Structure formats: structure tokens, C-alpha cells
Amino acid sequence: MTSTSTAPQRARPHAGPAWLVLSLACACQFMVILDASIVNVALPSVREDLGFTPTGLAWVVNGYLLAFAGFMLLGGRATDLAGPRRMLAAGLLLFSASSLVGGLATTPEVLVAARVAQGVGAAMMAPATLAVINTFFTEPGARARAFGAWSASGGVGGMAGAVAGGALTTGLSWRWVFLINVPIGAVLIVVAVMSLAGARTGRRGSLDLTGAVTGTAGLAALIYGVMQSADHGWSSGLVVGPVVAGLLLLTVFTVVEARFAAQPMMPLRLFRIRGVAVGNGMLLLFGAITIAMWYFTSLFLQNVLGFSALQAGLGQTPAAVMFMVVARWAAALLPRTGVRPLVLAGSACFLAGFGWLSLAHADSGYVTSVLGPTLLVAVGIGLTFPTLMAAATADVPEGDAGIIGGLANTAGQVGGSIGLAVLATAAGARAASEAGGSSPADALAAGYGLVFLMAAGLGLAIAAVSLLLPRHRRG
């Protein structure tokens, strides 16, 4: 791989046992990703109880995702200034408190505000978990294994959402989708304070306020505009206006960081590290691939094969288990093989798996047309996700671990948001063109088939970009 670190090896900070520190980082990442999807199954109950309009109901999901992606860079730089221990504890506190408010909400406005606050808390936690791994696991093999465990926990969190949300909503109430975070968050706060007691407390410096405002607002506007494309079309002013404003703000952000900020929020010098630049480029593409795998496969199971939401979640569980196993295995191989072989092998799995999945239709069987190809794609995701995260955060000074963690998470989130909008548009257009001569299920299957073919193309693009990485340096 690109060497995990060319800097002199640092002594591991005094802290709790390595297994406890890693478990903390993985548990926090699991919560962050879980809450992006756990509410989906509960939405009908939420709408009935609180009286949401259809448009307003979407913001129970979008409010979280928008705040999560928009504040990630700011959360990363704040981690560098305050230290991962303080930032992780603060993020957990905000996340847990807003979960309590959401679980007790009696009006739509309160629930949406709680979801936005949850997203901000998640944006504080996610970069801090990566900073914890970069700070406490300094030996290349140990760091690679930690990345594998962290990657697997996030992937399983994303997949567990449908199952956990369905179980809690059916067995208790939709409110427990939020309330379950409160006791878990309280335990994790105690673990964070105790296990990271020896962590650095941050570094001297001030927050680049201009960069923070323009960067956060730019990301939020861009993602907001992309989110609107599914309902209003790409030519709508509700899409073009926010997207253009977001791009302009991000341009201003780049100029400020390059020329005017004494202590920039996003030091552009970090992009001179080839792994950072190339790794984050691949993570943008990878974000769209994960959307194609988990989101559109779930839609295929429900809208074409007639599965319930809970059945669809269970139907994707074997792929989630496969991803978890392969991610740990890939992390163990990473120090010996390097990034490029694992990425190329993962891309081959994407090409074969998505190509196979694109052939599924309304009369297909689950085992032969969905289970088989999704297991293959899950192998590809397991090979590439920890590998790309390691590449995107390699060779970075410890004092920049937070912002690099924020950047890597932001790349995946932005890629997923744009990928969802583009792929949904393509699927809708293809389904509409097939509607005249096919059954509704067959028309939808044609649309999803196009999505899977496009995802296979994204896998090829990742393989091509990986060739820009330097060759593996041993030792």
C-alpha cells in the first residue's frame, strides 16, 4: 500500500487497553451510520403520530444527513484543536441529548430540529473516531486492523438500520428508534472520558472562522440542492440555485484557505500528499457505489420482488456479514499487499457483482439473482472501504488527523448524496421509458438494472484512479 506512515513512529499515548479504545471508536461509528437509516422503517408511524406532511417527513431523514455532511470538515478541525477525547465526548453528549428530544417530540418541528442536532453531533464524532485510530494505533499493522474493524462497524451500522428500526417500531414504538441512543450514549461518554484520559488535549491555535462559515455553508448548500433534484428535477431553480451557491461558497473557501487564512481550517498543503488527494477522490466514487448497493438493492427487493422493509433488511444481512468478514481480512492483508491490489480486486468484484445484479427482473428468485451478486459486491466493498480510508489518511501529521478524518468522511457522504441523486434520476427515466410496454415491476426492474450497470462503471473508475497511487513501499 501507500505506506501507512512515513513519519517517525510515535509512542502510543497513555490510554485504556487498545481493545477498549478501538471498541469505543467502532461503537461510535456504528451509532453514527445506524442513525442515518434506522428511522426509515419508522417513518409511517412518525407521520401518523405527529401529523407530518409528505414533504416535511423527508426532513426527518434529510435533516440528519445534511447536518452530518455539512459540518464534517468543521468537526474535523475542531478535533485537531480540542483533541479527540473532548470532541468525542462532546459529540456523544449532543447526539444523546438530541436523541432524547427526538424521542419525546410532540411536533414535527421539534423532531426535525432534533435530527439536525443529531447530525451535528455525528459530524463531531465521526472525524474524532478516525483521529483516535490515527493517534492510538501507530504501528502500521495495528492501524490497518483498526481501520478494518472501524470500517466493518460502520458498514454493519448502515445495514442494521432497517432491521433494528423495524424491530423497535413493531415491538415498542417509533420513539425508541431515538430513545435507545440515550443509555448507549451515556455509557460511551463514560468510556471515552476514562479510556482516552491520556490523549492529547489539542494544539494551540484559533479556528478559521471565515473558512468554517464558507466551507460549512458551501457543503450544506451543495448537498441541499442535490437532495432537491429527486422531487424537482435538475433544471429547477430549487436545485440550480443551492448548487450554484454551494459551488461559489466552496470556491471562496478554497481561496481563503490558500491565500488569507493564517491557520486554515483545511490546509491545502495536505493535498500534496498523494494518498490524501487520490484516496479522497476514490472515496467520492465509492460513496455512490455504496448507495447503489444498499439503497437500490433494498428498493429492488421491496418494489420488484415484493419484500417488506423488514424482509428487505433481513435479505441484505448476509451481504452485511460478508462485508464485515472481508473488511477485517483485507485490513490484515493491507500492510503486505498495499492499496492498489486490494482496490483492483474489489473493482473486479464490483464489475462482476453489479453486472450480474443488473440482469435481475420481476420473476427472478432471491437466491440466484440477488443474494449471489450482493455477496460478490459485498466482497468488493470489504476489500476497498478500509483500504481507501487507510490511503486517504496515510502520511498525515498527527495534528491534522481530525481534519483528514473529516475530509475522508465528507468525501464519502458527498459522493453518496450526489450518487443517490444521479442514480435515482437515471432509474426514474429508464423506468418511465419502459412503462408503456412493461408491467410496473418490470419497468422498475429496468430502471434499477441501469443503476447497477452505472455502479459497475464506477467500480472501473475507482480501479483507474487507483493507478495514480505510488507503488507499495515495504517496511
DSSP string, 444-475: HHHHHHHHHHHHHHHHHHHHHHHTTSPPP---
Which residues, 6+ apart, have CB-to-CB distance to 447 below 8 Å? 426, 427, 428, 429, 430, 431, 434
Q: What homologous superfamily does CATH list for 16-198? A: MFS general substrate transporter like domains (1.20.1250.20)
CA 190, CA 304: separation in Å to the nearest integer? Answer: 46
Sign of CA dihedral 316, 321, 326, 331: positive
Model pLDDT, residue 205: 60
- CATH fold, domain 272-475, is Growth Hormone; Chain: A; (1.20.1250)
Model pLDDT, residue 247: 93
Sign of CA dihedral 105, 64, 374, 341: negative
pLDDT < 70 stretches in the chain? 1-16, 54-55, 159, 162, 198-206, 309, 398-399, 470-475
Model pLDDT, residue 93: 94
Residue 31 near residue 131, CB atoms below 8 Å: no
Which residues, 6+ apart, have CB-to-CB distance to 104 below 8 Å? 175, 179
Model pLDDT, residue 456: 93
Which residues, 6+ apart, have CB-to-CB distance to 240 below 8 Å? 225, 234
Q: Could you tell me how many helices (H) and strands (E) the chain has, helices first?
A: 20, 0
Give the burial string for 300-317 (b: 16+ CB within 10 Å, else e). bbbbbbebebbbbbebbe
| DSSP label of 17 | -
Q: Tell me the whole-structure pTM to 2 decimals.
A: 0.78
CA 283, CA 26: separation in Å to the nearest integer? Answer: 19
Model pLDDT, residue 7: 40
Model pLDDT, residue 416: 81
Model pLDDT, residue 15: 53
CA 322, CA 328: separation in Å to the nearest integer? Answer: 10
The amino acid that residue 150 corresponds to is: W
The amino acid that residue 303 corresponds to is: N
Supply the Cα-derived Rg of the chain in whole angstroms: 21
The neighbour count for residue 127, using CB atoms within 10 Å, is 33
51: left (phi over 0), alpha (psi -120 to 50) or beta: left
Model pLDDT, residue 203: 57
